[in-house]
Structure 1
Amino acid sequence: MNDESIRGEGVKVTRPNPVPLLLTIAYLAFVSLGLPDAVLGVAWPSVRETFSLPLSGLGMVLVGTGTGYFLSGLLAGRLVQTLGVGTLLTVSSALVALSLFGYSLAPVWPLFLLCTPFIGMGSGAIDSGINAYAASHFPVRHVNWLHACYGFGAMLGPLVMTGALVRSGSWRWGYVAIGAMLLLMALAFGSTRASWRTAGAPGAASAEARVGTLQALGHPMVWLQVVIFFVYTGLEVTAGQWCFTLYTEARGVPRELAGTWAGLYWGSLAVGRVFMGFVVERLGPDRLLRFSILSAVAGSALFAFGPTLASFGGLLLIGMSLAPIYPTLMSRTPGRLGEGYAAHAVGFQVSAAMLGAAILPSLAGVLAGRFGLGMVGWVTVAAAAVLWLLHETLLKLTPRSAA
């Protein structure tokens, strides 16, 4: 058996070859995690018409989902220690499935809205639980490929909803179909629950299992990684959400062309994670992270200040550069912090990522409204530069045995 061993704070983290069945289920889990996330944009016009809602009603759904996601991420470490990964994934997948069925059956808007925090809580727990397990038990290349599967799931979800709208004329059947897929994932997690508990590193450090939530919050490197995830997702979502508006309203790019490049940006994240999975172990994860962040700084500068054609190239360079950062940072967490701290830190990082994806793009919008859309480019450059500084600080603080 070829084991991958890392040391974090004096605690050895051993990653044996992953169990094929669990690895397959983990890949499917990331596809299923992406399924509901991008569906709302396709379903919303029909949902809004059904319940006679204003455009602002979408914000209520996002707030409800985001709140549940954030809270579950904060509690994920304690839930993993109390329930075990297998039980947490089973219960969380079932919760998301039942909430999606609740969407499909809701006769009035308040009942539809009531389901949103439960979808957020379930999705956040799945995200935290599967990331915590993968970071400790799967080689870093697989963690990159797992996150690529999330992108494919996010691409598949809108197609399922579109098919339901075309065939049945109702958004409700789209949520039924996606809920059924999540229910199958819950059954898969439940049937392998014991394997999730027992598979993996033998002799994991028992002392670290006693790390509590408050103890983890007192660790300075935990906070540093939380801030890194906040900035990373803020950069990723700011570039993706604002590039279309920047191109069409500030640079005169036709809508069709701008939409194509916006789609290519999100596609580059998935493709980049597939490609980087093949090279990360040859370069080494920290070296790949350093190179990727510097490349993201260069891409952000081209996106912000280059002529139109160069700006398109810069946008794709941002996507390809950012692709391995989230999964590789997740994979390095147990090595830097040790298993006990990592169980909490992964959940904190997921919550921070949710906040970054909401706050930094919103800040870019406020600045663009006051000073012009060119501020979007400045925000991406600043976020990329801050991300580089934070990661360099993290490398300096990482124990030599974990580097």
Structure 2
Amino acid sequence: MILLLLIIIYLAFISLGLPDSLLGAAWPVMQQDFGVPLETAGILFMITAGGTIVSSLVSGKVIIQFGTGKVTFFSGFMTASALLGFYFAPSIIWLVVWAILLGLGAGAVDAALNNFVANHYKAHHMSWLHSFWGVGATLGPIIMAQSISVQYAWRNGYLTIAVIQFTLAVILLFSLPLWNRVSNNTKIKAKKNAEDHFEEISPEDTKQVKPMQIKGVKLSLLSFLLYCGVEATVGLWGSSYLVNVKELPAAQAATWVSFYWGGLTIGRFLTGFLTFKMTNRMLIRFGQIIAFVGALLLLLPLPSNVFVAGFIMLGFGLAPIFPCMLHETPSRFGKKHSQTIMGYQMAVAYTGSTFLPLILGIIASNTSIVIFPFFIVFYIVMMLLSSEKLNDILRKKAFVPNKY
């Protein structure tokens, strides 16, 4: 039963990843169809992420009232409806409307599933969970590239993804009875374990403190902000950079960016195995260093083919960071506050997805998209610094063992 639900959660994360990379892959063609400026993609992305931020912030109360299973199903149905709306959208205004619904559908389910897995499953399950998100994120631009190659029909790409989303929503609907059973079984086991072995409990679980008052929470939020800023910026503007600076065809550029998402997916799958030998913090650090090297390959004046390696390295490097940070949440800040802090983290993560790509888009519209790799390098360096400062704080906490 636990394994069956885990498989369904993995399917839900494929559903969550499918739309995330679509706009960036399709935008070079969509921009021509609607006759709008380059930075409009950043605005649409901002609107989608804005809806996600709102739903993430209220996710704690929503999940407590309705349960993780129902929230996951309803969010998947909302996302599928929004993608179908993109297919029919006659103007940019309608894209804005459907972008709002798309964002609202993504936020609550993201926070819900991440906290559910962090509390009910192990670190390798979390990494594999996000590798399935990468499966969706990789399939998105591949499907869109195929659609674009046939008379630039980007709408067919959105229609295909919408059909897949509706199918997954139906699967989620039939899985609803499983969620409470797994939660109840896990609580019983946790209680028995606590009685048999005196579990280590964080001070934050025993004190009446607010989540934002816990040491290290703000630095954790900053790390999530910068991580999602990097991931979203590469996904949104990578194709435009390759088309406008490297002069690649739109379909080829979308395919190259799919290699980035592919590296992210494969990297997270491999991370699941690495968690048996390495701690989350070690994987986060190594991932940031690899991503930095990949960003340098985009920055240096090298042949165009090297950029494929740069995108793949970026994907591999970013792969372990997000799931490992999420899985660390209960041990960093205590299980009592994990759902609330998880919602904050997801909200701030989508804030990074909202504003950091938008900042690049606005500046690029007034200068050139050639600044793209400079921004990526800067974001990664800042993320590494904030993450290491957080590790320093965690080392000083008695309930977090030093695993270096």
Taking structure 2 as the reference length, what is the TM-score of the superposition? 0.78
Look up the match of 1:200.
186
How many pairs were matched up?
A: 381
Q: Does 1:89 align with 2:68?
A: no
SS across alignment from 2:276 = helix
1:217-240 CA deviation, whole Å, 9 max, x = no partner? 343422221111110111123234
Is there any run of 5+ residues in structure 1 with no aligned partner, and where? 1-17
Look up the match of 1:135.
118
Report if the CA contact (8 A) 1:93-1:122 is conserved: yes
Q: What is the CA–CA distance in structure 1 between the aligned matches of 2:45 and 2:254, rounded to whole Å? A: 23
Look up the match of 2:385.
389
Q: Does 1:146 align with 2:129?
A: yes
Q: What is the CA–CA distance in structure 2 between the aligned matches of 1:46 and 1:368, rounded to whole Å? A: 18
* Residue in structure 2 matching 1:331, options 324, 327, 339: 327
1:235-292 CA deviation, whole Å, 9 max, x = no partner? 1232343344444544566777655433312211111111121112212211111111
Q: What is the CA–CA distance in structure 1 between the aligned matches of 2:53 and 2:268, rounded to whole Å? A: 25
1:140-186 CA deviation, whole Å, 9 max, x = no partner? 111111111112223445677878x98xx985964762353143133
Report if the CA contact (8 A) 2:24-2:41 is conserved: no
Taking structure 1 as the reference length, what is the TM-score of the superposition? 0.78
Look up the match of 2:400.
402
Q: What is the CA–CA distance in structure 2 between the aligned matches of 1:269 and 1:87, rounded to whole Å? A: 29
Is there any run of 5+ residues in structure 2 with no aligned partner, and where? 195-200
Q: What is the CA–CA distance in structure 2 between the aligned matches of 1:100 and 1:375, rounded to whole Å? A: 31
Letter in 2 for 1:188: F
SS across alignment from 1:282 = coil
Look up the match of 1:237.
232
Which runs of structure 2 are paired with 1:14-29 in the superposition (5 Å)?
A: 19-29=2-12
Letter in 2 for 1:191: P
SS across alignment from 1:307 = coil
Look up the match of 2:261.
266
Report if the CA contact (8 A) 1:232-1:387 is conserved: yes
1:88-117 CA deviation, whole Å, 9 max, x = no partner? 324433444555667778899977765543
Q: Which piece of structure 1 moves more, 35-44 or 283-292?
A: 35-44
Which runs of structure 2 are paired with 1:164-203 in the superposition (5 Å)?
A: 174=160, 177-201=163-187, 202-203=190-191
Q: Sequence identity of aligned pairs in percent?
A: 28
Letter in 1 for 2:163: A
Q: What is the CA–CA distance in structure 2 between the aligned matches of 1:244 and 1:101, rounded to whole Å? A: 23
1:347-388 CA deviation, whole Å, 9 max, x = no partner? 222222222123222223344455654432222221111111
Residues 238 and 111 from structure 1, CA distance in 2 versus in 1: closer, same or farther, beyond 3 angstroms? closer
Residues 30 and 252 from structure 1, CA distance in 2 versus in 1: closer, same or farther, beyond 3 angstroms? closer
Q: Which piece of structure 1 moves more, 38-47 or 134-143?
A: 38-47
